[in-house]
Amino acid sequence: MGSAETALSLTLTNRQASDFELIANGGFAPLDGFMGADDWRSVCEDMKLASGDEIWPIPITLATDLECAEGDVVELQAANGKALGRLHVSEVFERDLELESRQVYRTTDREHPGVAAIHDERSRCVAGRIEADALPDHDEAFMRRYQTTAESKQAFADRGWKRIVAFQTRNPIHRAHEYLTKAALEICDGLYIHPLIGETKKGDIPADVRMRCYEILMDNYYHPDHVMLGVNPGKMHYAGPREAVLHAIIRRNYGCTHFIVGRDHAGVGDYYGTYDAQLIFDELDLDKLGITPLFFEHTFWCHECEGMGSAKTCPHPKESHLFLSGTKVRELLEAGEKPPHEFSRDEVAEILIDAYKEGI
């Protein structure tokens, strides 16, 4: 009715469609729509929704220059034209991009990809609850692993898992990741590998390539009764500490009880300290957060230990440790060379070398 009268429609960007999807599928609970001015300010300044009851670290807003007003209904579609549902407009407001940059990203530097993204979107926002008729499309490789929050919770229950640890990643899983996921699994019933498949920055490994890496590791190196692979349709903000909290909330909503927070979680460049994403949880009421973070040190291969270790477990000098930067690994892969076996499983390295040859 309202949409027929107003004839309003909006094509969401891929980033906006990611937010729509997580609102619709329960990943952003308790949100039922895009935030208004009060929630936006409260989240920026206090990391809470305006009600004061819910921890929330990053604004989920819909920036657009669409002319509309309170009470309008806006039909929403994905970039490929797929009809998704509608927005019931409750408010139109201007957000302060400098304030959001300082509070959420800890910088106003527009070289920061998250800061650049919100400035590209601009300040005018439309708020309101959504009705979802459909979810955005994804590649078949992702849809085979796709679950809503209700489906993942049911899958955990079917397996009898009560303590479930989630692992967030936007990169292939190398030995260090494998080590910490298995260490976390030792105190839990199941591991939920939950890679992010929304938009990432230029230079990140494409999500379909990463999925092949996860699947081959699961086939060969994880116990099938204790690991599950899903997909998180969210986008990257590169907000470091605040994004670690958002990632924890999403995994809580998917039914996980524990969440791995490693070195420089969701970081980029040198905007955040190595363990800032762990320290931020000291500011939060973990009972209200509803999920237990598990903190891990920087891990490496130690030639003396003949295995993975960290500063907590390995007594040997740095000269015995193997650590390769992401830049160095990319240089090797682009040259068609395998990273050392101690850094990456050979099967994963081969997938990545082939992908680089194809020009990712």
Q: Are both 303 and 255 inside the same structural domain?
A: yes
Q: Are both 329 and 184 inside the same structural domain?
A: yes
Catalytic residue among 159, 171, 212, 263: 171
DSSP state of 224: G
Q: Are both 153 and 272 inside the same structural domain?
A: yes
Q: Are both 110 and 79 inside the same structural domain?
A: yes
Quick: pLDDT tens for 285-340: 999 999 999 999 999 999 999 999 999 999 999 999 998 777 788 889 889 999 99
User: What does pTM read for this prediction?
Assistant: 0.94
205: domain CATH number?
3.40.50.620
How many CB atoms are located within 10 Å of the residue 308 CB?
20
**Among 93, 115, 132, which residue terminates a domain?**
132
- Listed residue (51, 18, 39, 199) closest to 128, CA to CA: 39
Quick: pLDDT tens for 160-175: 999 999 999 988 899 9
7: domain CATH number?
3.10.400.10
Name the strand (E) or helix (H) holding 192: strand 190-193
pLDDT of residue 53: 86
Determine the Cα–Cα distance for residues 215 and 212; give it in Å rounded to an integer: 5
Catalytic residue among 145, 170, 210, 252: 170
**Among 105, 132, 159, which residue terminates a domain?**
132
Q: Is 170 a catalytic residue?
A: yes
User: Could you tell me if 241 and 279 are in contact, meaning their C-beta atoms sit under 8 angstroms apart?
Assistant: yes
Domain hosting 326: range is 140-357
Q: Is 171 a catalytic residue?
A: yes
